[in-house]
Every structure is written in C-alpha cells, then in structure tokens.
Amino acid sequence: MALEKQENRPVAEKGEHIIARHLIEDDNIKEEKNLVIDGVDVSGRWNTFILSRVDSEFDRSFFKEVKETVVGSRINRCWQCGMCTASCTVTPLYRRFNPRAFIYMMQLGNLKEIKKYIDVAWRCVGCYKCSQRCPKQVNPAEMMEALGLLIKKYFPEEVKSKLKVDEDVKKIYDDMIVGHGRLDLAKLHTSAMQKTGRTKELIGKIERDAIFKMAKDGRAFSILRLGKPHNWSSSKEAITGYLKNINTIENGESGV
Amino acid sequence: MAENILVVGGGPAGLNAAVMLAELGVNVSLVERDSFLGGNPKKFKYKFLFPDMQPADNVIGELIKKAETGGNIKVYYSSEISDFKENGKKFDVTIKTADKNELKTFDSVIVSTGFEHFDPARDAKYSYQLFDDVIDIKDLERMMGEDNFVRPSNGQPPKNVAFILCVGSRDRHVGNQYCSRVCCTVSVKQAIELREHFPACEVYIFYMDIRTYGFFEDLYWKAMEEHDVQIVKGRIAEITSGPNNTVVCKGEDTLLRGPFEIPFDMVVLASGMEGGPQSSEISKKLGIGLDEHGFLKPENVTLSPFKSNRDGVFLAGACTGPKAISDSITEGAAAAMNAYTYAVKNK
C-alpha cells in the first residue's frame, strides 16, 4: 500500500524497512503514518510494531456460543476428517472455502483466521452433501450458517466491505427467488455441477435413488404442486425493488 | 503326581495363568519381584479401567484374591530367577528370595514379566520433573486413585489441561518406533474423568493420530460428544514455563498450519510402554528371543503369540508388546492352556 507523499518525507511502504518483509503478512504490521508522542514525531518506521504470528490461546467462548445455536449444536462432534470439504460443491470453485477448516477455527475460537475468509465463508449453496456424508453427523452445511452468524456478529464492517456478490451465483439466487418465490436446491445443485463439468454425476446412483424414492412416496409431486408462497406478488415487488438498491448478499438476505 | 509349572511375574497375565493352572490341579510357583501381587495396575494404583470404567480392584483385586487363596499357588514375593537350566524336557530353576535360594524342577514355564511405563524425563523436550504441573498418565491415574486430584504446584483445581499423546512412542528420537496401543484410550478415559470431576476445566488433547482401536472408539466419541474435549492436531515440541504459574505447550496446529504457544495449568503426558530392563534380563537368563523393540519375541506373532522360541517356555501379557489389561488376561489363559498341554505331554 503506497502512502501519499508528505512534505519533507519520502514515500514509504508500510513496514518497508523490515528485512525479509515478504515473510510478514500486512495485517501483522502495525505502523502509524502520523504519530506524535510527547511532542516527539515518531511517524512511519519509528513506530513500527510486528504482531506475533504465534497463537497464544484457544478461546472456547466461541465454541460455547456456536454450540448453543440450533445450527451449530453439533460442533463438538467434528474430528476433522475432511469429508465435508471433500464432498463440497463449492470448494472446487473457491478453493479457499473449506468447511472442515472453518469448523476447526470455530472450535478453537480462532477469529483471526476466520477473518481472512469473510469473502468466501458465505459461499455454501446448501446442497447438504457434506451433511449426508459426514461420518459423525456434524451437519457441516448448517455449521456454515453458524459461521455466517458468527461473522455477522463479530465483523459487521468487514462483511460490508469484503463481501462481494458473485454475479453467477447472484443470478441463480435472483432467478429462483424472484421467479419462483423459493430456493430450489435441486436446481442450485444442478447449476453448480454443470459449472464444474460434472453433469454425468447428476444421474448417479444417489440421485437416481433419491428421485425414485421421492416419486414413490409422493414428495416429487407435492413439490410440483407446491406453487408460490402466499401473497407472492406483493413480496416479489418488494424484493425486486430492494434488489435494485443493494449489491451485497448480506443486505440481500436481510431484505428477503 | 501333579504337574509343576513356574509363572514369572504376578501382573494380570501371570495371575490369570496361575489361577487357571491351579484350578486344573497344577502346583504353581509364582515368582514376583515386588513385595505385592498385581503388577503395574496395582503399583500405580489404577482406579478405573477402560472401556466400561469398572474399578480396577474388581479385576486385579479379584485375581490377587484367587491367587492368594487358591491353595495350589506358592507365591514367592520380592524374588527372582537366579539360575535356569534345561533338564531333558524339564527345567531346573533356582528361585532367589530375600533370605534363601530354592532349587525346583518345573515341567513348563510361563513368562509374564510385563512392561515398564516410559519415563518421560528421558525426553527432555517435555520438561517432565522440571515443572510440577507436567505429569504423565500413570501419575494422573495414581492421583485419581488416591482421590487427590489437584494441580501439584499449588493444590488448586486446574482451569485447563492438555494431554499430549505419543510420548515415548512412535518417536525414533527416543528409540521407540512402535505405537503403545493403550495410551490414546487411557487419555480419553482420563479426559472424561477430568471433565466429570471439574466441569469448568477445559480439556485439550494434542494428537498425531488417535488410535482408540475397536470398541474403545466409543470412549473417544463420548469424550468429544458428551464432554466437549477438544482435539488439536500436532505434536508438542517443547514445554516451557509461562505467566501466572502456567506451563506453555509449543507446537504446530497442522490443520491450519500455524505455530502456537498455549499456556496450560497442567499437562498430562501419555507416556507409552516399554519392555523395560526385565525383558532383556529374562531373555538372557532363559535363552529366549528379544525383538528389535525391546520386548520378548514370540515364535510366531500370528499363529502362536503365546510361545517363545524355546520349547516349554510360554509368554503372556505385555512382555511381548504393549497390551490392554483384557488382552493380557486372555493371553494368561492361552499360555496356561499351552503350558499345561506341554507339561502333560512330557510327563
């Protein structure tokens, strides 16, 4: 980050004078551009401070907080096998979206680490593959909602600045909500699979079994009959109007 | 005339072998180096045994009672084998007690000399014996056995406790490459006991793998799901002193790739099992094989794990490798059957 040029002072990068600067993350360098202490000017490199990279506590208050929520009640079960990340629909698209790691960060209360992933932490599309496959029934899909709640609570400012809408995903959500009045998880799943070129798997054994089961017990037909929510036209109008004015998922959610 | 069989070592395996042989009408001589029976479980006052948390006294106490009142069992306390000679198919053995030597002829021999707890002081990185608040699982078991569970440094209940797995096991640095099998299960068992005793105390387990094999896995699940025990992946490289009378565990969180230095009120080292000096000693005296791990070597690890490479000498329990108490008791019975068969055949 280049600072503006000031009078009598050369342009300085933050922490520029540190040897092996490339090894230190930006967030770990504290340097005040202008600082005067007791009348002494200690601006720039004179007040540089490097925060330790070493974690010095496990903060279990977040674990307790998450455990008390409905969606996060099974956080104590996770043993970090990685089945959730391995089955995740989103991870192939956004490598930094890693449900396994997010759950671990919540277990150990590592908010410093969670903060780095605010831009991707909300990418879960709710396909529930992870929850279906999790050997300990942690329900990682809903754990991602718990993560969302945690981020919303502790980093409201960052959420506003860092959370940018992925246009493709937004289009899918907009089409579904505005067009049909509800999220169609099957459609979401299909779009994601198409996007990653895994169309063949859409008629895999699990999917075939599910379709067959749903056709047999009548759920497939009830979904078709379901229709739009009550008083949909006025809701739709409100949502469309609101969507015009915002461009973040955060605001979009509270609007819906 | 009844058969004479020698059992060396009065731990769970030796006791069960002796008791079973006595029930068959065999004259059993039980040689024990300590002044009491029961082996390590008795010596270190194990309180509850996994997997069902039954009092150790139910198991060990019961075996000792049977051995002491069993009639056919002659127990030699504080004694050892001073001489061992083959005599045809039989063995001439000199048993050395505190005050005399006794020469006896036996039809067969069962060796159940057991194991030694790894001494964590041998691995300096864990600062065992340097800090009062660094203890190991056998110390914790004894503290619980004596109903005296507090921080050794100040007598207060701990606010957070760390268990460190694989101390003295799976570590070429200390010369033990094998897994000691039971320390994971003992650790999760103790973690549960700790949480039950001090609900406000946080318990962490630093692990590389958690090997609670078979149904012992239930305890591991219970520790996490019912008692909120937190597992953290990474081995601890150093234990140093920290602020406010704490001990600091320095390690790497291998799942997030970050170094940590976390202060704890107490650290419990899950020290493993070793063959101990008695294994090589008995191997020399009896002329039976010793394996590369320092335990006694069975003739065939799969087909006859209870047989030594010398005819008529049988092995039972943790002297052939790390074992749970239930396995030792099973092997005691297996060795008893084989020793009896050998004695009857060569009479």
Q: Which domains occur in chain A, in start order?
A: 12-54 (no CATH), 60-162 (1.10.1060.10), 167-203+215-251 (no CATH)
With CA atoms as reference, report the closest residue to B267 among B209, B201, B204, B183.
B204
Which chain B residue has its CA at the smallest distance from A108's CA? B230
Q: Do B253 and A55 touch (CB under 8 A)?
A: yes
**Residue A1, pLDDT score:** 43
The residue of chain B nearest to residue A105, with distances taken between CA atoms, is: B256
Instruction: Kindly determine whether residue B256 and residue A113, on different chains, have CB atoms separated by under 8 Å.
Output: yes
Give the Cα separation of A243 and A237 in Å (integer).
Answer: 10
Residue among A77, A100, A108 minimizing CB distance to B224: A77
Kindly indicate the confidence band of residue B333, based on its pLDDT and cuts at 50, 70 and 90: very high
User: Choosing among A53, A54, A114, A136, which should be mutated to test the B contact, i.e. which has the most B CBs within 10 A?
Assistant: A54
Is B337 in the same domain as B326? yes
Distance of CA B340 to the CA centre of its chain: 26
pLDDT tens profile B49-95: 988 999 999 999 999 999 998 788 999 999 999 999 999 999 999 99
ipTM: 0.88
The DSSP letter of residue B60 is I
Question: CB contacts < 8 Å between A and B, how many?
Answer: 54
Interface of A with B (CB under 8 A): 53-58, 60, 63, 67, 76-77, 79-80, 100-101, 104-105, 107-108, 110, 113, 136
Q: How far is CA B174 from CA A187, B233, B251, B321, in A?
A: 57, 21, 19, 17
- A contacts of B230 (beta carbons < 8 Å): 58, 60, 63, 107-108
What is the pLDDT at residue B254?
A: 93
Distance between CA A167 and CA A176 in Å, rounded?
14
Which residue, of B240, B272, B304, is where some domain finishes?
Answer: B272
Q: Are A104 and B260 a contacting pair at CB < 8 A?
A: no
| Mean pLDDT computed over B127-131 | 95
- What residues of A are in contact with residue B225 (Cβ under 8 Å)? 76-77, 136
Read off the pLDDT band of B340 (50, 70, 90). very high
Tell me if A80 and B233 make a contact (CB, 8 A cut-off): yes
Chain A residues touching residue B221 (CB < 8 angstroms) = 136
Residues in B touching A104 (Cβ below 8 Å): 255-256
> Do A78 and A104 touch, CB atoms closer than 8 A?
yes
d(CA A242, CA A121): 24
Shared-domain flag, residues B303 and B235? no
Question: Would you list which residues of chain B are within 8 Å, Cβ to Cβ, of chain A?
Answer: 202, 204, 210, 221, 224-225, 228, 230-233, 253, 255-256, 258-263
Is the N-terminal amide bond of B51 cis, ω within 30° of 0? yes
Average pLDDT of chain B is: 94
Q: Which of B219, B238, B244, B262 to mutate to test the interface with A (most CBs of A within 10 A)?
A: B262
Q: Are B143 and B263 in the same domain?
A: yes
Instruction: Identify the domain boundary among B272, B290, B312.
Output: B272
Same domain, B80 and B138: no
Partner-chain contact A58 B262, CB within 8 Å: yes
Task: Say if the Cβ atoms of A60 and B202 lie within 8 Å.
Answer: yes
Query: Is the same domain home to B131 and B255?
Result: yes
What does the alpha-carbon distance between residue A190 and residue A171 come to, in Å, rounded to a whole number?
Answer: 14
The beta strand positions in B17-151, using DSSP E, are 27-31, 48-49, 54-55, 73-76, 80-87, 90-96, 101-106, 108-111, 116-117, 134-136
| CA within 13 Å, CB half, A114 | 27
Does residue B46 sit in the same domain as residue B110?
A: yes
Chain A: nearest CA to B222, how far in angstroms? 9
CA distance A127 to chain B (A): 25
Q: Are B265 and B334 in a shared domain?
A: no
**H or E stretch including B249?**
strand B246-253
CATH assignment of the domain containing B311: 3.50.50.60
Please check whether residue B17 is in contact with residue B336, taking contact to mean a CB–CB distance below 8 angstroms: yes
Nearest residue in A to B264, CA atom: A57
Q: What mean pLDDT do residues B254-282 have?
A: 94
Cβ distance of B256 and A54 shorter than 8 Å: no
Q: In which domain, by residue range, is B171 found?
A: 118-272
Residue found by looking up tokens 């958690």 in the block: B210
Task: Taking residues B136-143, report their average pLDDT.
Answer: 93
Q: What residues pair up with B232 in beta bridges, in sequence order?
A: B206
- Residue B318's identity, in one-letter code, is A
Q: Of the candidates B16, B164, B116, B136, which has an alpha carbon nearest to the alpha carbon of residue B322?
A: B116
Shortest distance, CA B135 to any CA of chain A (angstroms): 21
Which of A54, A58, A79 is nearest residue B224 as measured by Cβ atoms?
A79
- Asked if A53's CB is within 8 angstroms of B259's CB, the reply is yes
CA distance A128 to A99: 12
pLDDT tens sequence across B6-43? 999 999 999 999 999 999 999 999 999 999 999 999 99
- Asked whether the beta carbons of residue A55 and residue B260 sit closer than 8 angstroms, the reply is yes
B98 and B127 housed in the same domain: no
CA atoms within 13 A on the CB side of B287: 8
Whether B150 and B106 map to the same domain: the answer is: no
Using a CB-CB cut-off of 8 Å, the residues of chain B touching A58 are 202, 204, 230, 232, 262
Number of domains in chain B: 2
- Considering B272, B296, B330, which residue would you say is the last residue of a domain? B272
CA distances B295 to A220, B8, B168, B277, Å, are 64, 15, 15, 10
Same domain, B126 and B262: yes
Nearest CB to A76: which of B228, B253, B256?
B228
d(CA A68, CA A147): 13
Here the contacts of A155-160 (C-beta below 8 Å, separation 24 or greater) are A155/A115, A155/A118, A158/A115, A158/A118, A159/A118, A159/A248, A159/A250, A160/A248, A160/A250
Do B134 and B102 share a structural domain?
no
Q: Residue B176: which pLDDT band, with cuts at 50, 70 and 90?
A: very high
Per-residue pLDDT of chain A (256 residues; tens, 9 = 90+): 444 544 555 556 788 888 888 888 888 888 888 889 999 998 888 888 888 888 888 999 999 999 999 999 999 999 999 999 999 988 988 889 999 999 999 999 999 899 999 988 888 888 888 999 999 999 999 999 999 999 989 999 988 888 776 677 677 777 777 777 777 777 777 877 787 787 887 788 878 888 888 889 887 777 776 667 777 888 888 878 877 776 554 444 443 3
Q: Tell whether B296 and B161 lie within a shared domain.
A: no
In angstroms, rounded to a whole number, what is the distance separating the alpha carbons of residues B2 and B17? 16
